[in-house]
Amino acid sequence: MRLTPVVAVCLASALAAVAAPPAVADSPVERVMRGPAFQAAAAHLDADRERIVAEAIALQQIPAPTGQEARKAQAFADLLRAQGLSDVAIDAEGNVTAVRRGRGQGMVAVVAHLDTVFAADADLTVRREGDRIFAPGLADDSHGLAVLLGLARALDAAGAAHDADILFVGSVGEEGLGDLRGVKHLLGAGPYRDRITRFIALDGTDPAEIVNRGLGSKRYRVTFTGPGGHSYLAFGTVNPVYALADATTRLARLRVPAGSTLSVGVVQGGTVVNAIPTRAEMQVDMRSLRRPHLDALERRLLRIVRRAARDENRARSTKTGRIEVAPVKVGDRPSGTTPATDPLVRIARDAVSAHGWAPRLSTQSTDANVPMSRGIPAVTLASGLGGGEHSAEEHLDVEPAAHARQLRMNLAAVMAAAGA
């Protein structure tokens, strides 16, 4: 069954009585949660859950592969304008930004990403099974965008005041080869680049998880080319597939530093079985928390692919042409860490534990990598509950009590981070 934005999502609505356990005594989160502004905002979120889910589905229904987020960005910007937020804009990179004014003591960016891993022609049909809603791109991260809208409405309904301005962001290029380009622009050339003092990404489906370590990565597309020829008549001519196979074998035998990884994820080339290929390509992914280790892996990769091309040219005939290799960097995600002792991490841990989950610090690659790499305190918190991200079975769990706690958790973290 395909749902439309106007179809009511059949969810339980008796939520006013949902209460969270107390936060750590006298922490910023505890002080926020015992205040009337939080109580009023949380009550509004409880009553607003069905609308949040409906908005998430409406946004999920707009195809938004990485690099093709414009339609979804415009729809999200229109929804933000309807909230009455100020300075709603789509920046030069395609990010959607809007501001809720505080007292001007810094700025907290609260970010969810617009793009998905699914192709423009992917089947975006929604199906409901009890409290579980299956839909590609719904949990990752259309629900996060809808949570931003819900938070803005709740803060307005409560008349909440806060020290820092809150910058709501729908970012582009978070997935795959998007290379975090949206947040790189936000913090590198965007109009708020010098104002953001804290950063909270809403992304993921495990409310216990707090990402405070950003896993850096470098990605390469390596292309070997050669003269090609008939498999029989040109036998003995250099072959780009052989060079690629030599390179992948050498890469497989590399010893990588602890905490680092290297993987050849895509291999392709050739056209027919009875021709020596003119081209062969591989895509390589390298990851590490430590930039020096990542840089060292990059240097070894480049040495290996150049050596593979050289050895193939020595091993076979180059009478009609030589093997050439072209390594092209297609991704460079910075690494970084927000220390466990940072006040923002404490706020995140207290918000998670105050709402019934045991907080767990973790390492992931998210939009928060970029501020971490620049020394801006940043964490990533779950934007919902669910699972199956990046698959046809991606789903959002909307069991009333747990969903309400997750929304309140996000609210408490944002309000405390902004100095409510």
Token match 């909307």: residue?
Answer: 398
Q: What is the pLDDT at residue 2?
A: 36
What is the per-residue pLDDT across 11-24, written as a single tens digit (0 to 9) for each? Answer: 333 333 334 444 45
Cα 407 off chain centre by: 19
DSSP string, 102-147: -SSS-EEEEEEE--BSS-TT-----EEETTEEE-TTIIIIIHHHHH
Domains and CATH numbers, the chain: 28-215+335-417 (3.40.630.10), 216-333 (3.30.70.360)
What is the per-residue pLDDT across 131-155, written as a single tens digit (0 to 9) for each? Answer: 999 999 999 999 999 999 999 999 9
Q: What is the pLDDT at residue 25?
A: 61
Q: What is the pLDDT at residue 26?
A: 79
What is the per-residue pLDDT across 341-369, written as a single tens digit (0 to 9) for each? Answer: 999 999 999 999 999 999 999 999 999 99
What is the per-residue pLDDT across 379-401, written as a single tens digit (0 to 9) for each? Answer: 999 999 999 999 999 999 999 99
Would you state the structure tokens that stand for residue 277, as one six-digit string? Answer: 């290929």
Task: Provide mean pLDDT across the span 250-255.
Answer: 96
Q: What is the pLDDT at residue 86?
A: 87
Cα 353 off chain centre by: 23
Q: What is the pLDDT at residue 10?
A: 38
What is the residue type of 341?
A: T
% of the chain residues with pLDDT over 70: 94
* DSSP state for residue 65 in the 8-state scheme: B
Task: Provide mean pLDDT across the span 283-306.
Answer: 97
Q: What is the pLDDT at residue 312?
A: 98
Task: Provide mean pLDDT across the span 189-195.
Answer: 97
* Residue 69 to residue 401: CA distance in whole angstroms: 33
What is the per-residue pLDDT across 66-101, written as a single tens digit (0 to 9) for each? Answer: 999 999 999 999 999 998 898 999 999 999 999 999
**Quick check: 61 and 5 in contact, CB under 8 A?**
yes
Q: What is the pLDDT at residue 13?
A: 35
Pairing type for strands 378-381 and 196-202 reads: parallel
What is the per-residue pLDDT across 16-47, written as a single tens digit (0 to 9) for each? Answer: 333 444 445 679 999 999 999 999 999 999 99
Q: What is the pLDDT at residue 61?
A: 98
Q: Is the pLDDT of residue 408 over 80?
A: yes
Picking from 211, 223, 365, the residue whose alpha carbon sits closest to that of residue 286 is 365
Q: In what order do the strands lie in the sheet with 127-129?
A: 127-129, 132-134, 395-397, 386-387
